[in-house]
Amino acid sequence: MATQSVTSADNLVDHKSHRKYGTRDLLRLITHYAHPKKGLFLVGILLSFVATICSLSITLLLKQFIDAFNHGTSGHLLVQLSLIIVFQLLASVSSSFLLNYTGVDAVSTLRSKLWEHIVDLPIPYFDQNRTGELSSRVVNDTSTIFELISSQFSNAINGIISIIGSLVLMLMLNFKLTIIILIIVPIMAAIIVPMGQILARISKAIQKETANLNSAAVQMISQNRLVKAMVAEKSLKQQGTDQVNRIKGFSVNQIKLVSILNPILNIILLAAIFIIIVYGGILVQTKALTIGSLVAFLMYAVQMISPLSSVTGLVTAVQQTVGATERIDNILDSPVEDKRVDGKDLANIDKISFDHVNFGYQTDKMILKDIDLTIQQGERIALIGESGSGKTTLVSLLESYYAPTSGNLTINGDPMVDFAIPALRNRIGYVSQEVDLMPGTIRDNLLLGSTTAVSDTHLVDLLGQVGLTAWVQELPAGLDTDVGERGLNVSGGQRQRLAIVRALVRKPSLLILDEATASLDNRNQERVTELLATLPKDLTTITIVHRLNQIEAYPRILFMEHGQITGDGNHDQLLATHDSYRDFYQLQYRHG
């Protein structure tokens, strides 16, 4: 069943990746996930409409003011003009605020949904997707949607109103002059539309390459110690330069098109204005047109032509945003981890049974093969074997990160799939070999995920058991000291011991240590070993071990080879009966 769900999810993603995204998908994303405040948005659009009408009216009043000025009857028109300018200003300010607020609120909602969804995604999703790309979706792609909602859409609406209103008023002022504009506008549109489509494709390419750069930067920064240790700065610099140059190449193409487009449009606009002035001047001289009407006509011509870029810009913006929609959709439509919230609660882990369990990340390649194993409460087990033998994968099944491909995995005699995942994981303390602390203080990290109150006395007691009390007391802020990004203000050994304390704070039934003492020196490794010896007798521990200097202390040792458990016993038994274990043990001591 687990395999079927994964296959269905893969088919869904595959189907979505091959279908063409459009405006309907963008609208669905905005309405379904962003939940924009429609009332505020409509009020903002209405005020924007009012502001545009006021702008058109100002030009009309200006015409009347100029024509009346010569006759000394322009006083009341000046008052009307001043009032409309003030009203237009208030409407514009209110509209701008409401539309931008709607955009900010909608994108904040979308970002929260996206953030929460990513947190709930299953481990296999993160195995297949790069961290930097996911962060780019949360930040960059949602910003594109914000720009569309808060700016592009309202600008286009205003532009359409301005174009239609200006055209109607120009026809009322002078039909012959309007013909000139009606010739010019299609010419400009014929240039703007195809150029806008090309710019949209370039912009989409820039977004894609920027996401790749973001992903590479996250990886490079997080692995900076490795880069310096391997003296790989030169190759990393070249990689970054190549990536930046790809973005630069697309950006230069974008600049070229804009640099060509704007002067051409300006020349056409100036030519139109020149023709209108010349022909309009003739009409003024023949008394067929007043000076005020000519000035108003010129202003309406500008008010009609200027918004063309906003209207066509909406098409470009929508195309850009559709690309962002597809990338965000691919995340939001990815199935979240089934937490089995309706499953059974789990008070304690008394018995774990693997009944002929097989598992593979791919169905045709098994990592674990025919695991037949029973673990009783309170056992202290060492899990050893060559790298790649399946040790970490085995304990990952216990955490329900993955489901067995076949066979049965039971807890206390009941199938593991019957238990709610949070209830199961709350009973397990896990310490990995590579410990990354979360941003925040020492206290924040020790209490990560804790659902019950834990006293500072208890924390200090646990820290003392792993030899960290003196270190914490020497810190200026004690438990409230910030650990820095990924815990880099803390040494590797200290991070490891903090992770062990963090696992014990949960008071687990099962403690899994995945080579948890790898970063510790012999003295602190002994401290941790002594700590494990003092743990409650009913606490089951599984320790993945590579360093065998204290392997004799484990009453039960499981030896893994090629995804199978080939040895099960104590040190003396395996040394006497298991050739691979004996060779593994002797080889390690032979090389120190």
CATH number at residue 544: 3.40.50.300
509 pLDDT band, cuts 50/70/90, is: very high
Q: List pLDDT tens digits, range 473-496.
A: 888 888 888 876 655 667 777 888
Do residues 324 and 457 both lie within one domain? no
502 or 434, which is more confident: 502
183 pLDDT band, cuts 50/70/90, is: confident
* DSSP secondary structure letter of residue 349: -
Query: Average pLDDT for residues 209-223, to the nearest whole number?
Result: 73
227 pLDDT band, cuts 50/70/90, is: low
3-state secondary structure of 276: helix
Of 283-297, 393-407, 433-447, least confident by mean pLDDT is: 433-447
Query: pTM to 2 decimals?
Result: 0.72
Which residue of the set 133, 147, 515, 561 is catalytic?
A: 515
Do residues 356 and 287 both lie within one domain? no
What the block records as the tokens of 509 is 């039934």
Do residues 30 and 146 both lie within one domain? yes
In-domain check, residue 337 = no
Do residues 433 and 320 both lie within one domain? no
| Cα distance between residue 454 and residue 467, in whole Å | 20
Do residues 98 and 38 both lie within one domain? yes
Q: Which residues contact 367 (CB under 8 A, 6 or more apart)?
A: 359, 360, 361, 390, 393, 563
| Cα distance between residue 225 and residue 41, in whole Å | 49
Of 2-6, 201-205, 440-444, 503-507, least confident by mean pLDDT is: 2-6
What the block records as the tokens of 246 is 């790809």
Residue type, 295: V
Indicate the residue among 332, 365, 384 that finishes a domain: 332
CATH number reported for the structural domain that contains residue 204 in this entry: 1.20.1560.10
43 pLDDT band, cuts 50/70/90, is: very high
42 or 232, which is more confident: 42
With 90 as the cut, is the pLDDT of residue 144 above it? no
Alpha helices (H) along 287-407: 291-305, 308-332, 391-398
511 pLDDT band, cuts 50/70/90, is: very high
Query: Is 379 a catalytic site residue?
Result: no
* DSSP secondary structure letter of residue 378: T
- Domain residues for the domain of 97 are 21-332
Neighbours of 274 (CB within 10 A): 10
Do residues 259 and 393 both lie within one domain? no
Query: Average pLDDT for residues 341-366, to the nearest whole number?
Result: 91
CB–CB of 45/149 below 8 Å? no
The total of structural domains in the chain comes to: 2
Residues in the chain: 592
